[in-house]
């Protein structure tokens, strides 16, 4: 009923407030998965707002559709994760050590993509955004649609073949490729709406992409397990973790995600039970293979734990564990006075803090810290003085002798470490 507030909206508000408070106190699982908690809270709250305005909403009125969106959302985002194995535009840092815990995190986080875009689009539509925007109808000829399909395919191919220059094309490629196919089949499509002069659907998706893009980066910024960017040409000027111009990629990505979703629904159709079983088996297999690839190619550091600190006496590690200092970040919060209070000598406490400062450099972690030690870089000051290019070459030599459990640090990641170290010693 229009104008009523549903209980799941209040639960969303409560969950978000709890996540913020627990994040501030460093409590798990909120510090690691704050991003996921924030998004699921948002989904619940926005769904209730849509219901309050329109009298219907995705969760309340189309529950089955909402639940179907979650696995399809995981699959669609995994397509872009797979592309990133080649692009290497973003990396995951501070992820859990246990693979099953990581994979649950991937699924819970990726499952929000379609729901948040859909809920945000519905909210913008509910409040009348772009309702009056129209355009004189365009005639979409078969040749024009064929040209868009070719352009979309070439865009995706260029992004994979020339990732250093053409990486932005991955965000628009699927929209250009798939929307004409939907239009030619007579299904619901943005191009069909544009042909009728209706721009509200397209503009709503683009606006939802901007809104969600801002929130994606905002909530990712505060989470412990997060992604960071090493995008060519845009490493300096950032808002949160995202290069400023990178926000322009969210609107076309939203259109691509919508097109992929519609294509998947079309592929499922009213098939036989065994055909649907094969479909879901292939989707699940692809996602699991992608999760394994993320562990190998996109993860660059794990949650740094005090038990793994190199070059530290087991006695000191034991005292830290007994005091509840299990993460290196917690050690930094205590500082030298707090460590001395635990009975650790002042020189040893200073040494521990300096190790922690290095290990908690963005994207570093214990494994990469060990690499830098082997490369002769022992503290933040020494890292700040390094030539990133020469340091990368040295690291390459070391990893040939001691392979890492994840992708070897890229030149962009090494530049990030040096840049962060220089900021830390200023």
Please count the structural domains in the chain. Answer: 2
Question: For residue 361, which of 377, 339, 340 has the smallest C-alpha distance?
Answer: 377
pLDDT in tens, 35-90: 999 999 999 999 999 999 988 999 999 999 999 999 999 999 999 999 999 999 99
Q: Quick check: is 10 in a domain? A: no
Q: What is the pLDDT of residue 349?
A: 86
Angle at 362 between CA 379 and CA 96, to 5 degrees: 110
Are residue 319 and residue 226 in the same domain, yes or no?
no
pLDDT higher than 60, residue 335:
yes
Asked if 240 and 334 sit in the same domain, the reply is: no
Q: Is the pLDDT of residue 315 over 90?
A: no
Q: Is the pLDDT of residue 230 over 80?
A: yes
Dmax over Cα atoms in the chain, in whole Å? Answer: 79
At residue 401, does pLDDT exceed 80?
no
Q: What is the pLDDT of residue 1?
A: 56
Position 378 scores a pLDDT of 84
Instruction: Report whether pLDDT(325) > 90.
Output: no
Return the structure tokens found at 23. 């994040």
Band of pLDDT at residue 2, cut at 50, 70 and 90: low
- Domain annotation covers residue 311: yes
**In this model, does residue 173 exceed pLDDT 60?**
yes
Give the pLDDT of residue 402: 65
pLDDT tens profile 147-164: 999 999 999 999 999 998
Q: Do residue 78 and residue 201 come from a single domain?
A: yes
The residue with greater pLDDT, 6 or 18, is 18
Q: Which of 253, 275, 297 is the last residue of a domain?
A: 275
More confident residue, 284 or 200: 284
User: Do both 181 and 100 map to the same domain?
Assistant: yes
**Inside any domain, residue 143:** yes
User: pLDDT: is 408 or 121 the higher one?
Assistant: 121
Paired tokens of 126: 């509910």
Cβ-contact 89, 229 below 8 angstroms: yes
The confidence score (pLDDT) of residue 376 equals 86
**Whole-number pLDDT of residue 134:** 65
% of residues, the chain, pLDDT over 70: 95
Percent of the chain at pLDDT exceeding 90: 53
* Residue-level pLDDT at 358: 92
Q: Which of 236, 258, 275 is where one domain is finished?
A: 275
3 SS3 class: coil
- C-beta contacts of 421-425 below 8 A and 24+ residues apart: 421/361, 421/380, 421/381, 421/383, 421/384, 421/386, 422/384, 424/357, 424/361, 424/380, 424/384, 425/380, 425/381, 425/384
Q: Which of 125-134, 198-207, 349-358, 417-426 bottoms out in mean pLDDT, i.e. has the lowest?
A: 125-134
Considering the domain boundaries, does residue 286 fall inside one?
no
Residue 97 clears pLDDT 70, i.e. is over it: yes
Where residue 3 falls among pLDDT bands split at 50, 70, 90?
Answer: low
The Cα angle at residue 262 between residues 198 and 243, in degrees rounded to 5? 80
* pLDDT score for 213: 95
Query: Which of 84-93, 132-141, 227-236, 302-311 is predicted with the least confidence, judged by mean pLDDT?
Result: 132-141
Mean residue pLDDT of the chain comes to 89
**Among residues 275, 291, 319, which one ends one of the domains?**
275
For residues 229 and 368, membership in a common domain is answered with: no
More confident site: 169 or 233:
169
Q: What is the pTM of this model?
A: 0.92
Is residue 95 domain-resident?
Answer: yes
Span between the terminal Cα atoms of the chain, in Å: 58
291 within domain boundaries: no
- What lies within 8 Å, CB to CB, of 4 at 6+ separation is 51, 52
Average pLDDT score over residue span 161-176 = 94
pLDDT of 38 reads 96
pLDDT class of 130 with cuts at 50, 70, 90: confident
| Whether 104 and 240 share a structural domain | yes
How many CB atoms lie under 10 A from the CB of residue 337?
Answer: 9
Same domain membership, residue 329 and residue 238: no
Residue 345 — very low, low, confident or very high, per pLDDT cuts 50/70/90? confident
Do residues 251 and 317 both lie within one domain?
no
Residue 168, domain member (yes or no): yes
CB atoms < 10 A from the CB of 279, how many? 15
The answer to whether residues 122 and 168 belong to one domain is: yes
415 in a structural domain: yes
Domain that includes residue 206, residue range: 62-275
Q: Would you give the distance in Å from CA 66 to the centre of its chain?
A: 21
Q: Are 75 and 28 in contact (CB under 8 A)?
A: no
Least confident range from 26-30, 357-361, 403-407: namely 403-407
Separate counts of helices (H) and strands (E) for the chain: 20, 4
Identify whether residues 270 and 352 lie together within a single domain: no
Token pair for residue 19?
């996540």
Helix/strand/coil percentages in the chain, nearest 5:
70, 5, 25
DSSP codes, 164-220: HHHTTHHHHHHHHHHHHHHHHTT-S-HHHHHHTTB-HHHHHHHHHHHHHHHHHHHHH
95 bridge partner residues: 302
Q: What is the pLDDT of residues 232-257, one digit of tens each?
A: 777 677 888 888 888 999 999 999 99
pLDDT score of 408 more than 90: no
């Amino acid at each position: 009923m229009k104008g009523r507030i549903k209980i799941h909206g209040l639960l969303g508000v409560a969950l978000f407030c709890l996540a913020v408070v627990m994040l501030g106190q460093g409590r798990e699982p909120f510090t690691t998965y704050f991003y996921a908690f924030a998004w699921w809270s948002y989904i619940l709250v926005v769904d209730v707002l849509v219901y309050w305005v329109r009298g219907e909403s995705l969760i309340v009125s189309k529950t089955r559709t909402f639940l179907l969106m979650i696995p399809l959302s995981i699959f669609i985002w995994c397509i872009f994760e797979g592309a990133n194995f080649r692009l290497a535009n973003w990396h995951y840092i501070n992820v859990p050590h246990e693979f099953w815990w990581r994979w649950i995190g991937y699924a819970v986080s990726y499952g929000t993509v379609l729901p948040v875009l859909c809920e945000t689009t519905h909210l913008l539509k509910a409040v009348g955004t772009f309702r009056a925007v129209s355009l004189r109808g365009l005639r979409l000829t078969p040749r024009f649609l064929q040209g868009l399909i070719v352009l979309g395919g070439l865009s995706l191919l260029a992004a994979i073949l020339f990732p250093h220059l053409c990486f932005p094309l991955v965000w628009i490629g699927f929209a250009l490729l798939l929307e004409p196919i939907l239009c030619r089949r007579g299904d619901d499509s943005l191009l069909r709406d544009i042909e009728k002069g209706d721009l509200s659907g397209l503009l709503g998706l683009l606006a939802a992409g901007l809104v969600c893009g801002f929130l994606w980066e905002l909530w990712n910024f505060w989470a412990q397990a997060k992604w960071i960017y090493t995008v060519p040409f845009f490493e300096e000027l950032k808002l949160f973790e995202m290069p400023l111009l990178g926000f322009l990629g969210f609107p076309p990505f939203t259109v691509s995600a919508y097109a992929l979703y519609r294509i998947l629904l079309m592929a499922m159709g009213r098939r036989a039970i065994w055909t649907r079983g094969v479909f879901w088996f292939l989707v699940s297999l692809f996602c699991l293979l992608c999760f394994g690839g993320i562990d190998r190619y996109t993860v660059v550091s794990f949650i740094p734990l005090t038990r793994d600190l190199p070059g530290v006496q087991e006695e000191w590690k034991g005292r830290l564990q007994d005091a509840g200092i299990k993460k290196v970040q917690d050690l930094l919060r205590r500082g030298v006075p707090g460590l001395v209070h635990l009975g650790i000598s002042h020189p040893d406490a200073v040494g521990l803090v300096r190790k922690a400062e290095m290990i908690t450099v963005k994207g570093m972690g214990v494994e990469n810290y060990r690499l830098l030690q082997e490369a002769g870089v022992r503290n933040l000051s020494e890292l700040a003085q390094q030539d990133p290019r020469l340091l990368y070459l040295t690291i390459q030599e070391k990893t040939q002798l001691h392979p890492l459990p994840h992708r070897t640090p890229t030149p962009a990641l090494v530049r990030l470490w040096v840049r962060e170290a220089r900021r830390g010693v200023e």
